[in-house]
Every structure is written in C-alpha cells, then in structure tokens.
Amino acid sequence: MRGFIHSIQTLGTVDGPGVRFVVFFQGCNLRCSCCHNPDTWDMHGGKETETGEMIDKLIRYKSYFGKDGGITLSGGEPLLQADFAREIFEESHKHGINTCLDTSGSILDGKVKELLKHTDRVLLDIKYTTDEMYRKYVGCSLERPMEFLSYLDNCGIPTTLRQVIIPSLNDTVENMAALSGIIKKHHCIDKTELLPFRKLCLPKYQNLGIEFPFEDMETPSADDIKRLYDML
Ligand code: SF4
C-alpha cells in the first residue's frame, strides 16, 4: 500500500514510550490555532511512500527501541490514511515492534476501528474541555474526541491523554477540573501529559504565508506546568 507522509524522525523520545521511529503523516482535517505543524495540513504536499519501504527502514532501528520503544504515527492526522496506517502497524507487529498512534481522535469509522485493533497505545490530544473552545480553536465539536475516547475505553487500549497548555485559554482551575473528570471516567487513560505551548513553528507559518493565530500567546513556564499537574 502507498500513502503520503511529511517526514520521519528516526530516534524520537517525546512521542510515546521509549525511543521511537516517528512517522509524520501528511494531511489534516482540522485547523487548530495552536498547531505547530501547519506544513502537514495539505494532503497533496507530502512524499508518497510505500509500506515495505518504510518497514525496511524501521527494522534497521529496532535495536534502539529496547523494551518500551517502537513506531509512532503522528502528523498531520494519521486517521485520514487509516488503511495505510493499519498496514504499517500490522507489519510492525510481525517484526515484534510496539505501535503507537498520535491523534486528535476526530474520526471514528470502520477503517479507523481496524487500525485500532493493531494499536498498542494511543496518544490522544484533548485540546480543550469545552465544546465552544473546540469549535472556535480546533474546528470540530468536543463530542468527536470524546466518542473516540469512549471507544478506546471500551476496547481497553492504553491511552496517554495530552493537552497543550495555552495561557489564558486552558491553564485554568475549571479546565483542570474538567480534565480530571475525563481521566477518572476513562480507565484506559494511564498517563497524562501537559505540554507547554511553544512558538517555534512561527517560521513555518511565515514560509507558508499564513497567519499564526496564536502568535501573541505566551509560553507557559515550567513552574506554570508544575502547578497545573499539582492541580490535576
Ligand atoms: S490536529 Fe494536529 S496537525 Fe491537525 S491542525 Fe490540529 S494540531 Fe495541527
């Protein structure tokens, strides 16, 4: 099978457990105002790649993965090419390689459910906890990732809940209380990551000639993030 990818990071350490071979898929159905990968949005902007070619490359790095590492599919949105992603995960499992999916959880159809059968862990980005903010700053309803999360819970797929902390938008007591409620309700969530919003992506927006809606937002300090973890 062939699919479109943006790039590969061969020895990633922040997208899932251990050392990981991270494949950034091309194409995204959302337009988050905080997005740090706007260069992945356009479905036609990527490099066409074949599963076998990718697996050949992946297994060259297997010795670095140890007991926790493996492959992570990120993006962009891997769910837009769910068949391609499924084949990559199936082949990875044949080689004993752990699979992890980094997603916004905004699509849940038959193809995505097939992909999830071959997924060892999901990194689910819950960007806000109100529907109003989801519609305004993401481009879909909060219901979509919530349905996705319920499905993960029913299937018992280990899930890392991730949220990018954007001062003045979601660094609030109310948001942490809502996030805590979501965590308590879904037993599949065994890890939560609060990630500071950063603006390293600004040159990407400038190169693409598009506005970065959160250009004036502040980056939270390490102390701010710690305070929110304590609150959670
Ligand atoms: S889902 Fe991810 S890649 Fe897509 S716009 Fe949002 S942050 Fe960017």
List pLDDT tens digits, range 72-119.
999 999 999 999 999 999 999 999 999 999 999 999 999 999 999 999
Residue 100 beta carbon below 6 angstroms from any ligand 1 atom = no
pLDDT at 44: 86
Q: For residue 178, what are its two tokens?
A: 């809502």
What is the side-by-side strand order in the sheet with 70-74? 47-50, 2-12, 20-25, 70-74, 98-103, 121-125, 159-165, 189-196
pLDDT at 65: 97
pLDDT at 116: 98
CA of 63 to the centre of ligand 1 (A): 31
Q: How far apart are CA 72 and CA 62, in angstroms?
A: 13
pLDDT at 119: 98
Q: How far apart are CA 50 and CA 82, in angstroms?
A: 14
CA of 75 to the centre of ligand 1 (A): 7
- Record the pTM: 0.97
Q: For residue 30, what are its two tokens?
A: 């959302």
Q: How far apart are CA 14 and CA 203, in angstroms?
A: 22
Residue 79 beta carbon below 6 angstroms from any ligand 1 atom = no
Q: How far apart are CA 12 and CA 18, in angstroms?
A: 8
Task: Report how far apart, in Å, the C-alpha atoms of 96 and of each of 113, 120, 192 are.
Answer: 21, 12, 26
Residue 40 beta carbon below 6 angstroms from any ligand 1 atom = yes
Instruction: List domains and CATH numbers for the chain.
Output: 2-231 (3.20.20.70)
Q: Residue ranges of the chain with pLDDT lower than 50?
A: none
